[in-house]
Structures are given as structure tokens and as C-alpha cells.
């Protein structure tokens, strides 16, 4: 028996020649003819946004099975391993927003923007499903194949969301951009040993501080700039890369004292589980909090968005004028223009999500102009 995914791929291959159509009753035909769209559901968020012990008794750690999707985001992986997200890693917009709010106290508009961007760029907005890892047989191609004749790739796919200069994932051009990389994590530990604060509980130089992240991120840049001939660090990725460093300090820290110890950080990165006696932060972190921490990490060794030229030099971007260059680079240039060719429920979902990507930037929605099928 062919798996669902194999069938989809075989059909996709045959469609390259226009005259060949998938056999009647093929799974792809079934998807398009019979699978109705699903209106995006609105997240139900709790009024209680204070400190809280996480996980509760209803959310034990269970290691993922072989068919469960996991990917480049230690936050989402951890939430799925505890059942705050569906354990198979196939999730809806509302499930993401609710889970990151409950587990880490990520503020609604920031969470909604990230979830919407993931759904539009790497998921199926018609069915309100995205994989937190790679391609899944549970998520069929988009109606009309407006983003290629393949199943949506999931957030692991390099390009629109996943990018260069990660903390514990290698650049796609160099190595494994999806899974935890021990050698990169060792560098982070090295900088913690050098610049970390002391703790009577976890030991000297065991607290990950702003200074640790400032020095580590700069060293990663210097190293990557030389190692990756096709390094891309344009405004969208520049912002998410520093944003993810800020996530570590803001979301992985213990909510009781705002401190992040090496064992706790290792629990998230290495084992993708909440550390013992973890308390989520005592107030929601929005784009302002994350933006400010990102800026403080970057400004210790100021850098500009850019990319490597073929001769190996780093060439800073000339940043275009737009409402917000991060929003523009991330959500306008990076999402396929074909999203705007849709109608009906599919279009309603897309418009809802586009609105969410613009909201925390205080920008009006600018229709996407990116290439499909990348």
C-alpha cells in the first residue's frame, strides 16, 4: 500500500505533464473534491496571565513516537511533548496561540503573528493545519496547488521561516538545520562558563545572562559568516534570529526570579521537556518585550541585516522604506503572492491570518509578493 504522502507525491509528479491526471478516486482527488475547508477557529485565551507552575498534572512528558512531527523550535517541541500541543505535531492556529500562552506566557498578538506566518508560509491555511516539523501525510497540498504540487513542507523547511544563524541548529547550507546540534550548544555553554552568573543552587557561572547571549550571538555571526558562503541574514531573519535568542532569556527563564540556569536550558534544548519546578514568566511577553531584549543582545556588537556576496564578503542590505522593514521582509516578501488568487473560505482564512501577521507591527496588511513553491 502506498502511504498517503507517497500517493500525493506520485500524483504531483505525474501532473508535471498537464495531460496526465491523477486516477479517479486517488487520494489527492479525494482531498480536493471532498475535504471541506475549515474556518480558522479563534483561540480561547485565559484571563489568568500570571506566574504558574508548568506543566500541570494533565500534561506529562511523553517522548514523541516515530510518526510524531518535531522540528527546529524547542518551544513548540516542548509543548507537543507535554500535550499542550497535539502530540503528533500537526497543529491549528488556535492550538499554537493557546499553547504558547499557557506554557510560556507569550502574549496573544505576538503568538498570533508567528502562528499565522507559519500557517501561511508552511502549512495549509484552507484546513487550518501546519506541521511543527516536516511534511506530513496528514496535511494535503493547497487547493489549486497554489504553492506547488506537494504537501506543505512544515516549519522545518529552510527559507520562509527557518533560516540561518540559529542557536542550536546548523545553517541549511552547512548541515542539519532542524535537529539539536551538540557542537553548537557546546559553544553556548562555553560562553555561559565564561560570562555566566553564579548561583548557590546550580553552581558558579551557571546562569545564562544577557552578556552570555551578546557574546555567543556575535561569535556565531563571525563563525557563520566565514563558514556559510550563501549566508542570508536579511531583516526578517535578522529579527527572528535575535528574537529567538531573546526567547531563550525571556521564556526559558524561571518565572520566580527571571533566572535561567544551565540545567534548565539544557532541559528545553536537549530533552525538549520542561525542567522540574518550572514556573512560566509572571507577565505576558509581547513584541515590545522581545524586541527590546533582541536589541540589547545585538547592540553589544552592532550588526546590520545583509548577506554574503559570492566573493565571501558580508554585504549589508539597503533597507527599503516601508511601514516596518521586518514585517515587510518577513511576511510580504516571504509569503507567496498566489495566496491572493484564492476565493471563498480559503481566502477568508488567508485574510484572517494576514491580518494577524501585520497586527503587532502596527502595519496595514500589505499583500504578499513572494514566489510560490519554494
Ligand X SMILES: *[C@@H]1O[C@H](CO)[C@@H](O)[C@H](O)[C@H]1NC(C)=O
Which positions touch ligand HEM (CB under 6 A)? 72-76, 96, 100, 104, 106, 111, 114-115, 118, 155, 161-163, 166-169, 244, 247-248, 251
C-alpha cell at 328: 515587510
Backbone dihedral region for residue 8 (phi beyond 0: left; psi -120 to 50: alpha; all else: beta): alpha
- Among ligand HEM, ligand X, none, what binds residue 228 when CB lies within 5 to 8 Å by partner kind? none
Could you tell me the CA-to-CA distances from 65 to 52, 69, 268 in Å, in that order?
28, 9, 18
Question: Would you say 69 or 105 has its CB closer to ligand X?
Answer: 105
Question: Would you say 168 or 359 has its CB closer to ligand X?
Answer: 359
Q: Which residues pair with 232 in a beta bridge?
A: 307
- Among ligand X, ligand HEM, none, what binds residue 256 when CB lies within 5 to 8 Å by partner kind? ligand X
Total residue length of the chain? 374
- Among ligand X, ligand HEM, none, what binds residue 76 when CB lies within 5 to 8 Å by partner kind? ligand HEM
In whole angstroms, the minimum distance from the beta carbon of 82 to ligand HEM comes to 12
- Among ligand HEM, ligand X, none, what binds residue 339 when CB lies within 5 to 8 Å by partner kind? none
Question: Would you say 302 or 364 has its CB closer to ligand X?
Answer: 364
- Among ligand X, ligand HEM, none, what binds residue 343 when CB lies within 5 to 8 Å by partner kind? none
- Interacting residues toward ligand X by CB under 6 A: 46-47, 198, 203-204, 254, 256-257, 261, 264, 275, 277-279, 309, 311, 313, 315, 355, 358-359, 364-365
> For 125-161, b where at least 16 C-beta lie within 10 A, e where not — what string?
bbbbbbbbbbbbbbbbbbbebbbbbbbbbbbbbbbbb
- Kindly give the residue spans of alpha helices, DSSP state H, lying in the chain: 4-14, 27-34, 74-81, 93-104, 108-122, 182-195, 210-227, 235-251, 262-266, 287-299, 325-327, 344-358
In whole angstroms, the minimum distance from the beta carbon of 352 to ligand X comes to 8
Amino acid at each position: 500500500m502506498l502511504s498517503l504522502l507517497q500517493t500525493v507525491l506520485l500524483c504531483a509528479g505525474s501532473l508535471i505533464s498537464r495531460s496526465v491526471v491523477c486516477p479517479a478516486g486517488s487520494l489527492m482527488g479525494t482531498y480536493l473534491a471532498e475535504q471541506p475547508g475549515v474556518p480558522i477557529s479563534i483561540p480561547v485565551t485565559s484571563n489568568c496571565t500570571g506566574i504558574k507552575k508548568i506543566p500541570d498534572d494533565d500534561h506529562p512528558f511523553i517522548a514523541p513516537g516515530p510518526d510524531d512531527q518535531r522540528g527546529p523550535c524547542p518551544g513548540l517541541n516542548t509543548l507537543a511533548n507535554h500535550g499542550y500541543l497535539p502530540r503528533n505535531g500537526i497543529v491549528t492556529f488556535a492550538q499554537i496561540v493557546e499553547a504558547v500562552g499557557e506554557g510560556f506566557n507569550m502574549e496573544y498578538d505576538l503568538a498570533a503573528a508567528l502562528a499565522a506566518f507559519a500557517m501561511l508560509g508552511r502549512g495549509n491555511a484552507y484546513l487550518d493545519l501546519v506541521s511543527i516539523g516536516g511534511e506530513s501525510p496528514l496535511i494535503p497540498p493547497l487547493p489549486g496547488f497554489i504553492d506547488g504540487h506537494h504537501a506543505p513542507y512544515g516549519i522545518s523547511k529552510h527559507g520562509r521561516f527557518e533560516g540561518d544563524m540559529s542557536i542550536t541548529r546548523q545553517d541549511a547550507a552547512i548541515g542539519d538545520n532542524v535537529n539539536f546540534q551538540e557542537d553548537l550548544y557546546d559553544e553556548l555553554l562555553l560562553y555561559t562558563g565564561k560570562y555566566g552568573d553564579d548561583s548557590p543552587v546550580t553552581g558558579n557561572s551557571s546562569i545564562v545572562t544577557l552578556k552570555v547571549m551578546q557574546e555567543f550571538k556575535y561569535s556565531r555571526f563571525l563563525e557563520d559568516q566565514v563558514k556559510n558562503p550563501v549566508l542570508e541574514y536579511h531583516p526578517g531573519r535578522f529579527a527572528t534570529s535575535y528574537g529567538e535568542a531573546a526567547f531563550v532569556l525571556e521564556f526559558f527563564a524561571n518565572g520566580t526570579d527571571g533566572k535561567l540556569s544551565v540545567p534548565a536550558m539544557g532541559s528545553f534544548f536537549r530533552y525538549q521537556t520542561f525542567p522540574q519546578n518550572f514556573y512560566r514568566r509572571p507577565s505576558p511577553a509581547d513584541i515590545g518585550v522581545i524586541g527590546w531584549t533582541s536589541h540589547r543582545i545585538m547592540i553589544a556588537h552592532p550588526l546590520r541585516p545583509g548577506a554574503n556576496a559570492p566573493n565571501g564578503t558580508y554585504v549589508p542590505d539597503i533597507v527599503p522604506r516601508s511601514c516596518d522593514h521586518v514585517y515587510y521582509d518577513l511576511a510580504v516578501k516571504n509569503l507567496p503572492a498566489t495566496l491572493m488568487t484564492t476565493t471563498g473560505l480559503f481566502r477568508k482564512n488567508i485574510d484572517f491570518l494576514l491580518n494577524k501577521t501585520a497586527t503587532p507591527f502596527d502595519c496595514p496588511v500589505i499583500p504578499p509578493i513572494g514566489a510560490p513553491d519554494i
